[in-house]
Structure formats: C-alpha cells, structure tokens
C-alpha cells in the first residue's frame, strides 16, 4: 500500500496548513478551515489535508462542507486510512457499517505504536490486561497449553499471559505494534492478521484473549465463531468491550470506536456455544478525563451454564 502522505508535497501549502492548526487550537475553526482550503488549492491531491479540512468544517458547524471534504478524502484514498467513511457515518451521511475500514485500523496503530503504551497506560489509566488476567486465573486456575492473543498490540496482555501459558501466539494488524511486541521476547509466534478475516487452522488453543480489541471490529458474530472453532472443548475465551446503554447491538461512537450492548454480547456467546464464566463491568480507560465503561468477559466453550 502506498504510504499515507502526511505532507502536502508543497512547501507553501504545508506552511499554510501549519498556521491553520494554530488557528484551530485557538478556537477559530471557521478561519482555520478557510485557510486550509486555500492550501488545498495548491495541493489538491492531498487526502490527509481534505480529511483535516472536514474536521475543521465540522467543528465550525459547516456539515455540508465537511461532507464534501471527507468525500474528496475518500476519493483520493479509497482504502480510507484516515477513516473518512466513519466520519460520514457519524453525521448520518452514510449508512452504518458493521466494521471499520481495515486500512484505518492498521494506519491508526502503526502511527501510535511508538507512543502507545505511554499514552494508554500512563495517561489514560488503561488496566484491562490486569483485570482480564485476574478474571482468567479465577475462572480457570492453572496453566494453559496454547494461548492466542488476538489484537496483541505491543504485548501488554501477553506480558500477563506468559507466566500461565506454555506457548503464546500473538496476532495484530499493525506491523508497528508487532515490532514492539517482538522486542519484548514474550511470544513464541507473532503474525500480522486482520481480525475481520482471521482464521486459525493450526492446533486448537485452550485460551483465546482479545483485550480492548473488539472496539475496532463492530459486528462480532464472525470473530466469535472463529474463536469457538479455534478452541478445544472446555477452552476459555476472555475479552473486553466498551458498552452502550442503547438498544442497538453495537454502535459507532464519536471516538470512531464501537460499543456493544450487554444483551448482544450474551447472545453471540450463546450462539457459538459459550457459557459465561464471569461477566464484570469495568472502567476500561479514561477518555477526555471521563471513564469509559465496559465489560470484562470470560466464557467457556461447552461449559455447562
């Protein structure tokens, strides 16, 4: 895939774009958008510029113009690495999709790989790996022969799993994240994989974990079914989701993450032959100084309810 162009390629356009950011953070989104539009006249093929223009126009209340900007960003970058289609969905201009663009998720985590742990753990109070680790140990004490860490990222969950597993495999869509995880030396295998199309045809695992991963998946029927197929009978599946209080199965939030309803989570687990071993409400992280509510779930394949 062609690298995403962070610069416009035009020095004058870049200078104008830099100044628009100063205007924007000072609380003048309309003026910033006007200036950025002028910069884009110098660099009309700059997808990232059009995406940013849409964000500024949205902040200024110019939704019709934002739609045009995000549509142009999509035209210039059909893979949608910046998530323009998600922005269009959030303002009701495009139908809700069951999953985000894979290229958006990959680009997002490649971009944040170097600062991911510091931002998530130190600044946002992320503690889900610790929470799931305790829940797994309580639900099924002892060691596991093979564990799959889906969406392993930099290995935060893997660090907790390593003491209780004989073999640990990690899968992630981001090469940058996998590079960070590999440097820790805790995985027996690391592979690049898109969970929207994930399959596991090797030996069946007795533990599968997906910590803070399904927020970038959306509809969960397929991946939960794949997990069930990847587990031995009586295998354990541990994961987390952000929760929504609405009646929908899942919703796309302004953060461009998905939240899932408790009823939906229970229903898809039952449909794939899982029984719930623990189902705990938890604060997943902070977002803009507000707690993000979620669930930490441990389920057993074929366990009696």
CA dihedral 234, 217, 243, 232 (to 10 degrees): 0
User: Cα 64 vs. chain centroid, distance in angstroms?
Assistant: 28
Say what the pLDDT of residue 178 is.
Answer: 97
Torsion of CA 126, 129, 130, 136, to 10 degrees: 150
| Last residue in a domain, options 95, 129, 148 | 95
Distance CA 141, CA 91 (A): 47
> Are 169 and 297 found together in one domain?
yes
Instruction: Give a three-class secondary structure readout of 81-136.
Output: CCCHHHHHHHCCCCCCCCCCCHHHHHHHHHHHCCCHHHHHHHHCCCCHHHHHHHHH
- Structural domain range at position 180: 116-301
Same-domain pairing of 276 and 129: yes
Position 304 scores a pLDDT of 43
Whole-angstrom Cα Rg for the chain = 21
Give the count of domains, the chain: 2
Is 196 part of a structural domain of the chain? yes
C-alpha span between 174 and 1 (Å, rounded) = 13
Residue 176: per-residue pLDDT: 94
Are residues 15 and 164 both part of a single domain? Answer: no
Q: How far is Cα of residue 174 from the mean position of the Cα atoms in its chain? A: 11
Tell me the pLDDT of the chain (305 aa) as tens digits. 455 567 788 888 889 999 999 999 999 999 999 999 999 999 999 999 999 999 999 999 999 999 999 999 999 999 999 999 999 999 999 888 999 999 999 999 998 888 877 777 666 677 889 999 999 999 999 999 999 999 999 999 999 999 999 999 999 999 999 999 999 999 999 999 999 999 998 899 999 999 999 999 999 999 999 999 999 999 999 999 999 987 899 999 999 999 999 999 999 999 999 999 999 998 888 777 788 889 999 999 985 43
Tell me, yes or no, whether 217 lies in a domain: yes
Distances (CA, A) of 247 to 46, 147, 233, 282: 39, 34, 33, 20
Claim to verify: residue 158 and residue 291 sit in the same structural domain: yes
Q: Is residue 108 part of a domain?
A: no
Check residue 303 and give its pLDDT.
Answer: 58
In a domain, 110, yes or no: no
3-class DSSP state for residue 148? strand
Rounded to 10 degrees, the C-alpha dihedral 107/87/241/156 comes to 20
Task: Give the number of residues written for the chain.
Answer: 305
C-alpha distance across the termini of the chain, in Å: 46
Q: What is the dihedral of CA 264, 265, 270, 272, to 10 degrees?
A: 100
Query: Same structural domain for residues 144 and 55?
Result: no
Centre a 10 Å sphere on the Cβ of residue 124 and count the other Cβ atoms it contains: 16
Which residue matches tokens 């974990």? 209
Which one of 65, 95, 125 terminates a domain?
A: 95
Beta-carbon contacts of residue 302 (< 8 Å; ≥ 6 apart)? 233, 234, 273, 275
CATH number of domain containing 42: 1.25.40.10
Looking at the structure, do residues 215 and 275 belong to the same domain, yes or no?
yes
Nearest by Cα to 256 from 20, 46, 51 = 51
pTM recorded for the entire structure: 0.91
């Amino acid at each position: 895939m062609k690298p995403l162009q962070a610069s416009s390629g035009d020095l004058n356009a870049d200078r104008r774009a830099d100044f628009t950011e100063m205007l924007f953070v000072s609380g003048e989104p309309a003026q910033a958008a006007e200036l950025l539009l002028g910069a884009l006249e110098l660099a009309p093929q700059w997808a990232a510029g059009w995406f940013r223009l849409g964000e500024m126009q949205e902040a200024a209340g110019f939704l019709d113009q934002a739609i045009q900007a995000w549509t142009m960003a999509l035209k210039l970058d059909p893979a949608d690495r910046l998530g323009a289609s998600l922005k269009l969905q959030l303002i009701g201009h495009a139908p809700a999709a069951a999953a985000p663009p894979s290229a958006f998720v990959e680009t997002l985590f490649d971009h944040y790989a170097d600062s991911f742990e510091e931002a998530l753990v130190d600044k946002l109070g992320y503690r889900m790996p610790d929470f799931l680790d305790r829940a797994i140990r309580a639900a099924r004490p002892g060691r596991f022969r093979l564990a799959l860490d889906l969406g392993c990222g930099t290995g935060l969950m893997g660090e907790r799993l390593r003491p209780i597993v004989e073999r640990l495999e990690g899968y992630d869509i981001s090469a940058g994240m996998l590079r960070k995880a590999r440097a820790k030396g805790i995985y027996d295998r690391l592979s690049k994989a898109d969970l929207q199309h994930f399959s596991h045809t090797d030996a069946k695992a007795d533990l599968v974990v997906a910590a803070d991963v399904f927020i970038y998946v959306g509809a969960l029927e397929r991946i939960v079914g794949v997990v069930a197929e990847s587990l031995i009978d009586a295998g354990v599946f541990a994961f987390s989701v952000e929760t929504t209080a609405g009646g929908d199965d899942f919703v796309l939030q302004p953060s461009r993450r998905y939240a899932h309803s408790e009823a939906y989570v229970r229903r898809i687990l039952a449909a794939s032959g899982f029984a719930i071993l623990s189902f705990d409400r938890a604060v997943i992280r902070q977002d803009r100084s507000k707690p993000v509510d979620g669930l930490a779930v441990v389920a057993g394949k074929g366990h009696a309810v």
